[in-house]
Chains A and B, each alone.
Chain A
Amino acid sequence: MSQPAAAPPPTRDPRISYEAGMYALRLGDDALVLAQRMGEWIASAPQLEEDVALANIALDQLGQARNLLTYAGSLLPGGDGEPRSEDDLTYLRDERDFVNVQLVELADGGDFGRCMARLLVFSSWQRELYGALVDSADPTLSAVAAKAVKEVHYHRDHATQWVLRLGDGTPKSHRRMQGALDEVWPYVEELFEPDPVTESLVAGGVAVDPAALRRPVLDYVSDALQRATLEVPTATVRHGGGRRGIHTEAMGHLLAELQHVARSHPGAVW
């Protein structure tokens, strides 16, 4: 990957720069890890058109990740004071340094219902997030969001159509779709948790308050589930900690696959 050079960030308070970098890193890691998960479906989806659809969604997510990580790297220089590239951030960080929510790292285990349950929730969240981030006081975050919002809107629409079809389909597809939602649900609340690192950015109009996204996201998802004759699950447990670098067992396996070649052959280009 090599992104053409982004415009250098304007000089500003180092603390604000650091926090904006950490914020971009969070959103970039979310998109990167989801891109990797969606990409796993290529050649394994239930039909050829779905291989193409999931690959396209993964590509959009990867593009968003590249923009966000390039920006994060420009604000979070490495030990030598040089900006870190999107590749440095993607291939050379360890698990504890990734700050994505746990929802995106969950393995689908070949269960298409789980893939769609996660995509429905996550793209609904991204749709509201980017929709609000368009008005960010940070021009780069605003520009990334203005592009991304149209893409994730399309993703949400795709997930909605599948959830409707599977939920309101046969008794078996209904049962499996409900089961997939139940499995995903304990990871939903993490999307709306306050994040101490980016709290001051919310007050400064740079970042979006995660708590403010809860109602519009759950309203959209609940409405879709109702139309699909599915129940909104009630989670008995609540997982989280991704923003602090705490991840599930699935994350290490995902990173092994993502990073293996780049780490085994440092500096290789092709």
Chain B
Amino acid sequence: MSAAHPAAVTAATVRELVAAVPDPEVPVLSIDDLGVLRDVAVDSAGHVTVTITPTYSGCPAMDAITDDIRTRLGAAGHGDAEVRLVLSPAWSTDQMSEEGRRKLLDYGIAPPSGRAAVRGGGAGPVPLTLTVRCPQCGSPDTRELSRFGSTACKALWQCQTCREPFDRFKEH
């Protein structure tokens, strides 16, 4: 089988191929930014295995992400690549990269703090978040309009200063 694969296939080169796959619901983020891409492995025969993890149990984007990964790998000659879904360890917004947080903010979505574990996540009482800054004007004077938003991972907020509503990526 190895003859069918391009020469010098390494986990790093394959990772480069799939890391840029966008999240279909927040396309400004790649699956690597989001922390959904867990592992890329290439065995001695050149067979590729990509491991991903869902954000929320019911995240409807996983099927689209899986298809995108298969398509990209297929185009690069890895038609027999395997995409594995793992649940453990559970995804958290703490796994989002710094780059991902910056991209979200530029896109107009208030990013998570990166300290969901410190704040208790789901394990303790849900803490009040006092410092969600408006991604448009930077004002800290904001309020939650709805605890649930347009996708499982977001809540709807509004800035009291510039009056713009905005999405907030929930701490999870």
**Chain A residues packing against B (C-beta within 8 Å):** 2-7, 49, 52-53, 55-57, 59-64, 66-67, 131, 139-140, 142-144, 146-154, 157-158
A146 and chain B: residue at smallest CB distance: B90
Residue pairs across A and B with Cβ atoms less than 8 A apart, 13 shown, are A2-B63, A4-B63, A4-B66, A4-B83, A49-B145, A56-B149, A60-B56, A64-B57, A139-B88, A146-B87, A148-B57, A149-B122, A154-B170
* Consensus secondary structure, chain B interface: loop
A60 and chain B: residue at smallest CB distance: B58
**Contact status A3-B85, CB under 8 Å:** yes
Interchain CA distance A61-B83 in the complex, whole Å: 24
**Contact status B87-A52, CB under 8 Å:** no
Interchain CA distance A134-B121 in the complex, whole Å: 15
B8 close to A (CB within 8 Å) = no
Interchain CA distance A5-B85 in the complex, whole Å: 7
Closest Cβ of chain A: how far from B37's Cβ, in Å?
Answer: 14
Interchain CA distance A59-B90 in the complex, whole Å: 17
Known: A56-B148, A157-B126. 13 other contacts (CB 8 A): A3-B85, A4-B66, A49-B146, A56-B149, A56-B152, A59-B58, A63-B57, A63-B59, A66-B57, A139-B88, A140-B87, A153-B126, A157-B147
A140 and chain B: residue at smallest CB distance: B87
**Contact status B58-A144, CB under 8 Å:** no
Closest 5 CB pairs of A and B: A63-B58, A150-B122, A63-B57, A143-B88, A49-B146
Interchain CA distance A122-B58 in the complex, whole Å: 18
Residue among B87, B146, B147 making CB contact with A147, cutoff 8 Å: B87
Q: What bracket does the count of chain B residues touching chain A fall in?
A: 20 to 34
Interchain CA distance A26-B148 in the complex, whole Å: 28
**Contact status B149-A59, CB under 8 Å:** no
B89: A residues at CB distance < 8 A: 146
Binary A-proximity of B38-68 (CB < 8 A = 1, otherwise 0) = 0000000000000000101111101100100
Interchain CA distance A67-B57 in the complex, whole Å: 8
**Of B63, B90, B145, B149, which is in contact with the most chain A CB atoms at under 10 Å from its CB?**
B90
B129 close to A (CB within 8 Å) = no
**Contact status B83-A153, CB under 8 Å:** no
